[in-house]
């Protein structure tokens, strides 16, 4: 075979190979589109033309147009109009699965003051508005509700784009008479499509810097408006923004009082009850079911879950506690040192993950922990440096609750640092009190056993081996106390419990101490004395435990190593108040 024939044969073989590869690719694409058809059908997509096929032929390769479209069954006629919603009341939002915001079609939402502020900001925008704020507070859902209203009431065309780091973009075109789903095989073509789009309103939910830039490009349309929704504030050229008439709206974090108010609505409380009770122990769940305390105990359930969810209403009312914890663990695994985050050093690649752990929550753009759970994980891991930085941020924000989170972890770090030695503090009369610290372990207080302790300390849990050992509950929101110590005082075994607080008033849940003491008795370590301390920072000058905040009894035990038993009344007077210096 001469060189020319060899070249022809090689070219033919190459063409045939490429054709086979293209055939395989298109067959895979066909299978993928058929799978997408099934997925779209699940959210109300009308069936495509069954006769449509993709020819795979060497002379005639028929590729689908960009973008491919599907008609959806989602209609706007039955949707509640914005005119009828008012702060403090509930309203329905439909089509959340269509928008890519939820797996459910419909949700009952609580209209807070910030909801109406966002709607007014959207109504008053000129060319565009950038919406930012903590993740999961209702920015996208409220904007979707507004977008549907624009299509229905004002007869505008809305192009809705929802982007996510874990799924393909959801692209929806809303009109008064129809709803279309758009699909791009190549996401690079989406940006070009957005630039040239002639829709009245373009809305982007989720952060993508390149796509957002195209969204706010008005070269091909002199009248369209643009909206972007993200969980972070990005630095802008304010002169350009003003020239383009682009405004901003900062969504507020949800407060604990707003959660309380929302769950006062019985219908709403029942709709989210399964997500709230998920964080309870099995015994608590049974009590709730047996006594039907949905309404009376809803505040207690919100309090418990708030520890994990913080300002995110999505985590509070739409996610189980186990799922929230799993998400937080994933985010922590993907972010750099949290010390750098508190310093404001955040790379663009990890900013989405960071915003779910510590988000901007005030007008000063201060970044602070999303919840107390994320705060405790961070401060426990990064220690005194993170605590010092967190104190500074909390001080700027002027939020006493945030300071309380840090103070609690500060005291725990002081105990941990005193391992092998002791920690010196003072009482309210400035008399010295010393806590010996032989060791420090984490444990599940509810399932505490001899075997569990032996596994943790790697030796038999005798009184000698447990002396001055400190226990930190692995259940972060352990009621009653933050940590406790087993100590041997002569012939008496004593448990020392410490609660840490920055509040001027605090509850005393004696049943929590009683339960732990009885658990040790089952391990042949009969507890004779219980000592309770309330640890407060040295700058707190007032503290009280009101009678109304005292629960349970422990009158069977001595007060620590003394000969005095715990009283039946005014038991709070036997609690010792401590003062300690915060980490500077």
308-363: per-residue pLDDT in tens?
A: 999 899 999 999 999 999 999 988 887 767 777 777 666 555 566 777 888 777 66
Torsion of CA 445, 447, 448, 454, to 10 degrees: -130
Predicted pLDDT at 77: 73
Average pLDDT of the segment spanning 273-295: 60
| Distance, CA of 71 to CA of 253 (rounded, Å) | 36
Contacts of 564 (CB under 8 A, 6+ apart): 558, 574
- 507 or 280: whose pLDDT is higher? 507
Average pLDDT of the segment spanning 378-401: 85
Mean pLDDT, rounded, of the chain: 82
Predicted pLDDT at 43: 40
Average pLDDT of the segment spanning 551-576: 95
Predicted pLDDT at 180: 92
Closest CA to 298 of 323, 277, 279, 329: 277
**Distances from the Cα of 200 to the Cαs of 174, 203, 221, 224, in angstroms?**
10, 10, 9, 5
**What is the percent of the chain with per-residue pLDDT over 70, rounded to a whole number?**
79
What band does 468 get if pLDDT is binned at 50, 70 and 90?
Answer: very high
Question: Which pTM does this prediction carry?
Answer: 0.74
97-116: per-residue pLDDT in tens?
A: 999 998 888 888 999 999 99
Predicted pLDDT at 515: 94
29-86: per-residue pLDDT in tens?
A: 554 554 444 444 434 444 444 433 333 333 333 334 567 888 998 888 766 667 778 8
> Is residue 512 within 8 Å of residue 534, measured between CB atoms?
no
400-443: per-residue pLDDT in tens?
A: 788 888 999 999 999 999 999 899 999 888 899 999 999 999 88
- 566 or 289: whose pLDDT is higher? 566
Predicted pLDDT at 236: 57
Instruction: Report the chain's terminal Cα–Cα distance, integer Å.
Output: 85
Q: Position of tokens 């789903």? A: 181
Average pLDDT of the segment spanning 240-263: 85
Position 565 pLDDT exceeds 90 = yes
Instruction: Name the least confident of 74-78, 213-217, 376-380.
Output: 74-78
Predicted pLDDT at 467: 97
Predicted pLDDT at 174: 94
Predicted pLDDT at 14: 46
Average pLDDT of the segment spanning 136-153: 93
- 339 or 556: whose pLDDT is higher? 556
Predicted pLDDT at 16: 45
| Distance, CA of 491 to CA of 308 (rounded, Å) | 41
Closest CA to 165 of 131, 109, 209: 209
| Distance, CA of 75 to CA of 383 (rounded, Å) | 54
Predicted pLDDT at 556: 95
> Is residue 229 within 8 Å of residue 205, measured between CB atoms?
yes
Position 9 pLDDT exceeds 50 = no
């Amino acid at each position: 075979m001469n060189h020319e024939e060899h070249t022809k044969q090689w070219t033919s073989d190459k063409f045939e190979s490429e054709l086979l590869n293209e055939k395989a690719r298109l067959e895979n694409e066909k299978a993928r589109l058929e799978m997408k058809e099934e997925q779209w059908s699940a959210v109300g997509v009308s069936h495509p033309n069954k006769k449509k096929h993709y020819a795979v032929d060497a002379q005639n390769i028929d590729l689908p147009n960009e973008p491919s479209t599907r008609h959806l069954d989602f209609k706007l006629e039955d949707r509640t109009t914005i005119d009828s919603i008012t702060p403090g009341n509930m309203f329905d939002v439909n089509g959340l699965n269509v928008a890519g915001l939820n797996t459910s079609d419909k949700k009952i939402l609580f209209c807070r003051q910030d909801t109406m502020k966002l709607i007014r900001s959207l109504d008053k925008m000129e060319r565009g508005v950038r919406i930012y704020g903590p993740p999961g507070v209702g920015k996208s859902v409220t904007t979707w509700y507004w977008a549907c209203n624009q299509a229905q009431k004002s007869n505008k065309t809305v192009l809705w784009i929802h982007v996510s780091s874990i799924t393909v973009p959801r692209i929806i075109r809303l009109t008064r008479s129809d709803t279309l789903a758009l699909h791009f095989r190549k996401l690079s073509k989406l940006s070009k499509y957005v630039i040239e789009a002639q829709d009245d309103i373009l809305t982007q939910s989720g952060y993508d810097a390149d796509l957002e830039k195209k969204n706010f490009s008005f070269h091909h349309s002199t009248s369209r408006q643009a909206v972007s929704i993200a969980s972070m504030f990005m630095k802008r050229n304010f002169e350009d923004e003003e020239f383009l008439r682009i405004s901003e709206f900062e969504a507020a974090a949800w407060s604990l009082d707003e959660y309380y108010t929302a769950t006062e609505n019985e219908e709403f409380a029942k709709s989210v009850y399964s997500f709230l009770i998920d964080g309870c122990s099995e015994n608590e769940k049974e009590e709730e079911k047996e006594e039907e305390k949905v309404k009376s105990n809803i505040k207690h359930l919100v309090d418990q879950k708030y520890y994990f969810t913080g300002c995110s209403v999505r985590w509070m009312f739409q996610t189980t506690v186990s799922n929230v914890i799993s998400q937080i663990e994933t985010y922590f695994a993907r972010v750099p040192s949290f010390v750098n985050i508190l310093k404001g050093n955040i790379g663009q690649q990890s900013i989405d993950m960071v915003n779910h752990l510590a988000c901007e929550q005030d007008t000063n753009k201060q970044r602070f922990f999303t919840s107390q759970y994320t705060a405790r994980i961070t401060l426990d891991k990064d220690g005194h440096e993170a605590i010092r930085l967190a104190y500074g941020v909390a001080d700027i924000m002027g939020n006493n609750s945030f300071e309380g989170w840090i103070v609690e972890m500060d005291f725990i770090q002081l105990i941990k640092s005193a391992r092998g030695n002791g920690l010196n503090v003072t009482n309210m009369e400035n008399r010295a009190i010393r806590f010996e610290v032989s060791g420090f372990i984490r444990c599940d207080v509810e399932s505490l056993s001899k075997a569990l302790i032996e596994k943790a300390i790697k030796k038999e849990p005798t009184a000698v081996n447990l002396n001055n050992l400190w226990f930190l509950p692995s259940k972060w929101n352990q009621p009653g106390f933050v940590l406790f110590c087993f100590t041997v005082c002569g012939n008496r075994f004593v448990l020392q419990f410490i609660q840490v607080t920055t509040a001027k008033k605090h509850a005393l849940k004696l049943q929590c101490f009683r339960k732990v003491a009885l658990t040790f008795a089952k391990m042949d370590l009969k507890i004779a004395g219980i000592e309770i301390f309330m640890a407060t920072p040295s700058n707190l000058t007032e503290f009280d435990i009101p009678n109304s905040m005292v629960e349970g009894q422990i009158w069977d035990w001595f007060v620590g190593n003394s000969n005095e038993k715990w009283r039946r009344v005014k038991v709070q007077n036997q609690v010792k108040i401590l003062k300690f210096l915060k980490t500077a």
